[in-house]
Amino acid sequence: MPYDDCPPPTRHARPLSVAAALAAVCLTAAGCGGGPETGEAGAASPRPGPDATTSAAPTPTGKQPLPKGPLTGRTVVIDPGHNPGNRDHTREINRQVDIGTGRKECDTTGTAANDGYAEARFTLDVSHRLRALLEAEGARVRLTHDADRPFGPCIDERARIGNEAKADAVVSVHADGSAVGNRGFHVILPAEVKGGGADTSKIVKSSADLGARIAGHFARTTGSAPSNYIGGNTGLDTRDDLGGLNLSTVPKVFVECGNMRDPKDAALLTAASWRQKAAQGLADGIAGYLKG
């Protein structure tokens, strides 16, 4: 995930092999079977147009008891990257916030496909689908936002929401904005960092486990390959410059589901049927991690 205002990310650990990431799927025999940036800070994206397909409508949750299931008693926080309103609040989202090891913009607009389908709308759609799948297994699910606020939340608040919920897992949903020809998904893992309010020493290992399981299930369920431009074909990348990871005290990863600026990837990301597969892959990876 290239960033216009950041140097290339520092690698802090040898990435897992593709086989190792995919092996996380096989816990039991029954379980086997650059353009505009998209991260915490960078260039603005085109204004979003209508969705290429009908998005899954947000479903109010918490009004009825959750069903009993394998994830009963577990808490998952889903962090839909960006906010559709960010484009109208550039002054507010450009405000610098403390990420422990430095300062960074509160949030960014995210990227968009060439037809105007915005990353912020993609992330909300996948997050709604993911919430429904996890709640069906009994998990308590909280979104960091649901387009219910004018902009943001800021990256430090996004981390704080997961921390205060004492989440068993946090997943930040994104899509990349790289060059044409750059394809595939990757999962961003927190590096071991300590400085200011950041100390990831207690979550590096658990986050790596969460990320590897998501990578394996995501590839299997969506049919997408690991990124051909980040992570050495492992689908995993370790970063020390993302406030949403640096400030987390609970297991957390970012998932870049594909590259919105590549026409072939964009055709997947703008299809409702593929977004459902993406949500299922994420849900299966999270469930595999939580079930141990």
pLDDT in tens, 151-192: 999 999 999 999 999 999 999 999 999 999 999 999 999 999
Q: How is residue 33 written in tokens?
A: 């079977």
Tens digits of per-residue pLDDT, 252-282? 999 999 999 999 999 999 999 999 999 999 9
Q: What is the pLDDT of residue 64?
A: 78
Burial 271-282 (b: 16+ CB within 10 A, else e): eeebbbbbbbbb
Amino acid type, 121 = R
Radius of gyration of the chain (CA): 17
pTM for the whole structure: 0.83
Tokens of 252: 């957390």
Q: What is the pLDDT of residues 109-161, one digit of tens each?
A: 999 999 999 999 999 999 999 999 999 999 999 999 999 999 999 999 999 99
Asked if residues 174 and 111 have their Cβ atoms less than 8 Å apart, the reply is no
Identify whether 119 is a catalytic site residue: no
pLDDT at 34 over 90: no
Given the residues 37, 40, 137, 256, the one annotated as active site? 256
Domain limits, the chain: 18-47+76-291
Q: Is the dihedral of CA 16, 215, 223, 72 positive or negative?
A: positive
What's the pLDDT tens digit per position in 42-89?
333 333 333 433 344 444 444 678 999 999 999 999 999 999 999 999
Three-state secondary structure call for residue 86 = helix
**pLDDT score, position 65:** 87
pLDDT score for 22: 52
Return d(Cα 252, Cα 79) in angstroms, integer.
Answer: 10
List pLDDT tens digits, range 233-252: 999 999 999 999 999 999 99
Element (H, E) at 75: strand 75-80
Q: Strands 103-105 and 96-98: what pairing?
A: antiparallel
Quote the pLDDT of residue 20: 53
CA distances from 291 to 27, 92, 213, 219, 280 (A): 10, 40, 11, 20, 16
Are 227 and 182 in contact by the 8 Å Cβ rule? The answer is yes
DSSP string of 226-288, one letter each residue: BPSSSSTTSSEEEES--HHHHT-SS-EEEEEEEETTSHHHHHHHT-HHHHHHHHHHHHHHHHH
In CATH terms, the fold of domain 18-47+76-291 is Aminopeptidase (3.40.630)
Q: Which H or E run contains 189?
A: strand 186-190
